[in-house]
Amino acid sequence: MNLQTKIASAASEAADVLERLGVRQDLWTTGNRAVRSPITGEVIAHVHDASPEQVAAALDAAHTAFLAWRNVPAPRRGELVRLLGEELRAAKRDLGRLVTLEAGKIVSEAEGEVQEMIDICDYAVGLSRQLFGLTLATERPEHRMMETWHPLGVTGVITAFNFPVAVWSWNAALAFVCGDPVVWKPSEKTPLTALAVQALFKRAAARCPDAPEGLSAVIIGGRDVGEALVDSPKVPLISATGSTAMGRTVGPRVAARFGRALLELGGNNAAIMAPSADLDLTLRGVAFAAMGTAGQRCTTLRRLFVHESIYERFLPRLKAAYASAPVGDPREGSTLVGPLIDRMAFDGMRKALEAARATGGQVTGGEAVEIEACPDAAYVRPALVEMPTQAEIVLKETFAPILYVMRYRDLDEAIALNNAAPQGLSSSIFTNDLREAEAFTCASGSDCGIANVNIGPSGAEIGGAFGGEKETGGGREAGSDSWKAYMRRATNTVNYGRTLPLAQGVRFDL
């Protein structure tokens, strides 16, 4: 089963990587907040929570930076992001390693996360020459009407533990080219990677004469530090990624001060496996989407609807894949399933499996994998749960590797089951039937922000707009026209004639 029972310490390796990445030692050795590695459960650093005064100072500095940065031409702002991309390329292995040590991702996924940062930097550099508005037809002679896009102000970014660096970059690369400074409140579970990214940003900024002081800041802490950011009138945009519970608090607080909120919240993603599906391709797609990142992606596959005609053929193969997936130290090249972030996550998984059993679920896997001398680490065998119906527990997002499998009879029923979840992030259909694929992606198909065909729901590219509907919050980040969230739109009407015709034919003759 490829299970490791002994795991090497993560602390000294973390210290070496932090040093190579240029993070000042006092930032991670003398603080009040202990940081644990999920690999061993041991404390690997002590970081400093930001005090209310430090949060206020970071916001003041960011606002002052905004007053200068908004006047730097956008392509020159893009130059800063190009330099940041260079720093990330050079540091890809080290930063990836720190993601592994702090978030527990396997090496290829951790480096993939850094690659995503590089990709969004490249994208944003191109975008810095394409922040265009429209010229619109005006009803008045000798007039021109256009829309222009201007920098918005300080962007507050709140991130979750499971994408500790990529989510910042989706926001920050766009915000910087759009003319906005960024103040970042990373997850309290993954502050080290945030400190490392800030060190890399500083290297890039030092090579960019246009970059003002205070353009990027990291404020570490828990909910209270996040709330200070959320409530600040100096922050016109809050981009918050995390649970739906967090969004329920953050959304209304930002709205109460008429700020703008970009919410990227929980998902409960489904896939439909139709009778014509390619079994081998589907098996790989389902296995990666459901077990990858130990089930800790917002886009993780959590619900699988298999057509009754292929259920008996497919399930044994899926069960075999679950039984053989190597669980263990994410630093080992052979591991596919690393640890959960902490013991609390394992408790959540255990409770969900109990609830599933109580409603008729047949559970395969899901047991704890104990590692010698690491009682605080949480390794589990991914769980496959055959459910008779889509019970209440299935409609909840449990942030752990649990895949609920159900049978369906016809596509309308499967689409209704897909859409029955309160969340609306990602979804897929595996089919070789064009009609079914189109039905799934059309207006009356999947109601999610992402709807894929013959690809699992996880593993999005940065070129598309990323985000979801309903309890996922409605935000869109990364590609397409997501940049518009980071700018304010002005409609300008210019009269180049000598008369003053009024719109709608209104007369006001003095």
List the catalytic residues: 264, 298
CB 363 within 8 A of CB 353: yes
Least spacing, CB of residue 302 vs ligand NAD, in Å: 10
As a whole number of angstroms, the distance between CA 118 and CA 22 comes to: 19
Q: Does 187 bind ligand NAD (CB under 6 A)?
A: yes
Contacting ligand NAD (CB under 6 A), which of 85, 96, 191, 266?
266
For position 168 contacting ligand NAD by CB under 6 A, the verdict is: no
What mask of x and - would describe binding to ligand NAD in positions 428 to 457, judged by CB under 6 A? Answer: ------------------------------
Residue 243 binds to ligand NAD (criterion: CB under 6 A): yes
**Residue of 73, 126, 141, 222 that binds ligand NAD (CB under 6 A):** 222
In whole angstroms, the minimum distance from the beta carbon of 219 to ligand NAD comes to 10
User: Could you tell me the smallest distance in angstroms from the CB atom of residue 318 to ligand NAD?
Assistant: 23
User: 470: which 2 tokens?
Assistant: 């309903």
Residue 50 Cβ vs ligand NAD, minimum distance, rounded to whole Å: 12
Q: Which residues pair with 33 in a beta bridge?
A: 47
Using CB under 6 A as the binding rule, whether residue 185 contacts ligand NAD is answered as yes
The closest alpha carbon to 32, from 16, 47, 50, 15, belongs to 47
What single letter denotes the amino acid at residue 341?
I
According to the binding rule CB under 6 A, does residue 77 interact with ligand NAD? no
Min. distance of Cβ 56 from ligand NAD in angstroms? 16
Q: Is 105 in the site for ligand NAD (CB under 6 A)?
A: no
Interface pattern 308-347 for ligand NAD (x via CB under 6 A): ----------------------------------------
Q: Does 9 bind ligand NAD (CB under 6 A)?
A: no
How near is the Cβ of 38 to ligand NAD at its closest, in Å?
13
- Tell whether residue 118 is a contact of ligand NAD (CB under 6 A): no
Backbone angles phi, psi at 384, to 5 degrees: -115, 125
Question: Of 138, 249, 441, 454, which one interacts with ligand NAD (CB under 6 A)?
Answer: 249
- Cβ-in-10-Å burial (0-12, 13-18, 19+) of 235 comes to buried
Place of tokens 């605080």: 376
- DSSP string computed for 251-300: HHHHHHTT-EEEEE----EEEEE-TT--HHHHHHHHHHHHHGGGG-STT-
The piece of 67-75, 96-104, 160-168, 270-278 that touches ligand NAD (CB under 6 A) is 160-168
Nearer to ligand NAD, 302 or 407 (CB): 302
Contact status, residue 229 vs residue 185, Cβ threshold 8 Å: yes
Instruction: Return the closest-CA partner of residue 383 out of 337, 427, 443, 344.
Output: 337
The yes or no reply on residue 422 touching ligand NAD (CB under 6 A) is: no
Per CB under 6 A, 188 contacts ligand NAD = yes
Judged by CB under 6 A, the number of residues near ligand NAD is 29
Choices 62-70, 237-245, 317-325, 431-439 (CB under 6 A): range interacting with ligand NAD = 237-245
- Choose which of 21, 95, 262, 265 interacts with ligand NAD (CB under 6 A): 265
Is 472 a binder of ligand NAD (CB under 6 A)? yes
If one asks whether residue 246 binds ligand NAD (CB under 6 A), the answer comes out as yes
Which token pair is 255?
């709205």
24 Cβ neighbours under 8 A, 6+ residues apart: 199
Name which position in 40, 162, 446, 458 contacts ligand NAD (CB under 6 A): 162
Angle between helices 107-127 and 74-90 (to 10 degrees): 160
Half-sphere exposure for 186 (CA within 13 Å, toward CB): 31
Give the CA dihedral 341, 301, 169, 128, nearest 10 degrees. Answer: 180
Task: Specify the stretch interacting with ligand NAD by CB under 6 A; choose among 17-25, 56-64, 224-232, 497-505.
Answer: 224-232
Q: Which residues fall within 8 angstroms of residue 30, CB to CB, at 6 or more apart?
A: 46, 48
Three-point CA angle 468, 470, 475, nearest 5°: 40
| 399 interacts with ligand NAD by CB under 6 A | yes
Q: Does 242 bind ligand NAD (CB under 6 A)?
A: yes
Scan residues 275-314 and list those touching ligand NAD (CB under 6 A). Answer: 298
Angstrom distance (rounded) from CA 475 to CA 251: 11
Task: Decide if residue 109 touches ligand NAD (CB under 6 A).
Answer: no
Residue 212 CB-density burial (10 A; 0-12 exposed, 13-18 middle, 19+ buried): middle
Q: Which amino acid is located at 287 in the chain?
A: A
Phi and psi, residue 335, nearest 5° = -75, 135
Kindly state whether residue 264 participates in binding ligand NAD, applying the rule CB under 6 A: yes
Q: What are phi and psi of 329, to 5 degrees?
A: -60, 120
For the four alpha carbons of 404, 346, 96 and 335, in that order, the dihedral sign comes to: negative
- What residues line the site for ligand NAD (CB under 6 A)? 158-163, 185, 187-188, 222-223, 226-227, 230, 241-243, 246, 249-250, 264-267, 298, 397, 399, 425, 472
